[in-house]
Amino acid sequence: MKKLPENLSPNNFEWGCATSSFQIEGGTTAGGRVATIWDDFCAQPGRIKDASDGSVACDHFHRYAGDVKLMADLGFKHYRFSIAWARVVNADNTVNMAGIDFYSRLLDELAKYDITPNATLFHWDLPSHLEGGWLNRDTAYRFADYTALVAERLGDRLPRVATLNEPWCSAFLGYDLGVFAPGHKNRESSLSVAHHLMLAHGLGIQAWRSRLSQTSLGIVLNPELCDPLTTKPEDVQAAKMAEYERNDSFLNPLFGREWPSMLLDQMGSSLSDRQAGDLAITSEPLDFIGLNYYTRSIARAPSSSEDAKRGYTFVPPDAADKTKQLTDIGWEIYPEGLKRVVNNLTQNWPLPPIWITENGAADNTPVINGSCDDDMRCSYITQHLEKMSELIAEGTDIRGYYVWSLLDNFEWAHGYSERFGVVHVDFETQVRTPKKSALMVKALLKS
């Protein structure tokens, strides 16, 4: 791609880069920040692939000014970041002004370069002291308190705010599969958590709007495109169950709809966690929705008693299948999936305007002689931009695209072993090196 299609021109389309607090900030004990479930999870042996943690990460807490200048130099005019709940709220639920001051300084830097902030309030780093975590219904109300605090202290400088990022990961990777913090493995619990997260979303929207009515408010989801392994009815049903879990359990509440009966059946005794009136809270009107897309899934009928509780078994991409190109994390490169999943969502739910809030690839190409030729990532981004342009041409209301991520960072359970940044970070020296992909995007934005 030498030039952007007209419908992706920065003149009428929002281009940005994205990060999240725990993945880049470091400074986990600085400025009164309290511990999070991810600090706790990293401290447990065997949880993180390279036994690392987020205590330093990209040291963005101290290097934010340089990072903002870097994104400006690369031509980005929009920046999606998350605010760390644990940095701005003390354990007694009072404001931590040192944390507020950090984000105020970050916003000052963004304003200096005319970069528009796009904030997410929760990107998985839940404060540890919240008893029971998301299993406790009360946590949804504490989220509303936190949301109100951010609205009051920073809200007049935040034109667009998302409540949650990818609640599926918090609920099902954290409470069912146990591969994300807090590392629990209980199917019923994960479904309760999914409900409490959506309750938190609705309460958060209410809390913010009661203080600032002009802010554009929404949520960021990572919807599923799941294809069956075969045409056998049991595989087709398994793929449908995976999509119910990933899509319906979050999108239905946004529009006042009950979950599919098969998901409700899986809740067992936890069904009582769903209370009368909850859907009226979760279905607060949305100004936008963010969609994150990386790849698709393949499912087959459950192959174990554990998977039978879920209703599906995922089949990983076959690395020996030369017809499929995989990223370095092992995910299939499937750009057509972006079109398919967006079309599926718009056909089934009355979505507000859409932003593609994350899209990118794990490409671990090293820096050689001062440059990083991440050609796979360049190709990945280009192919997905082409599909997004097609969607817009066909009438889909997509208004922006954020590449994941600005910086190589702490990639959750993979630690620092997978690199998603368009800027290479040497985690020993903290030297930043823009990759070929960053320079490609810069050239496209100038074109």
**Catalytic site positions:** 166, 358
Distance, CA of 219 to CA of 147 (rounded, Å): 13
- Looking up tokens 């495109």 gives 225
The 3-state secondary structure of 426-443 reads: CCCCCCEEECHHHHHHHH
Q: Which of 144, 199, 200, 190 is nearest to 170 (CA)?
A: 190
Structure tokens at 131: 């008893």
Contact 437, 374 (CB under 8 A): yes
CA angle 433, 439, 444 (to 5 degrees): 160
Q: Which residues contact 218 (CB under 8 A, 6 or more apart)?
A: 160, 161, 162, 163, 286, 287, 288, 289, 290, 352
Q: 332 has which bridge partners?
A: 326
CA angle 291, 294, 295 (to 5 degrees): 120
Longest CA–CA separation in the chain, Å: 62
Distance, CA of 297 to CA of 226 (rounded, Å): 5
Structure tokens at 201: 């979303």
Contact 409, 58 (CB under 8 A): yes
Handedness of CA 94, 99, 105, 109 (dihedral sign): negative
Report the Cα 310 to chain-centroid distance in Å: 23
Judged by DSSP in three states, 132 sits in coil
Distance, CA of 412 to CA of 41 (rounded, Å): 10
Q: What's the number of CA atoms in the CB half-sphere (13 Å) around residue 398?
A: 28
- Number of Cβ within 10 Å of residue 393's Cβ equals 11
Q: Which of 413, 435, 415, 419 is nearest to 56 (CA)?
A: 415
| Strands of the sheet with 297-300, listed across from one edge | 226-228, 297-300, 313-314
- Looking up tokens 């050609």 gives 375
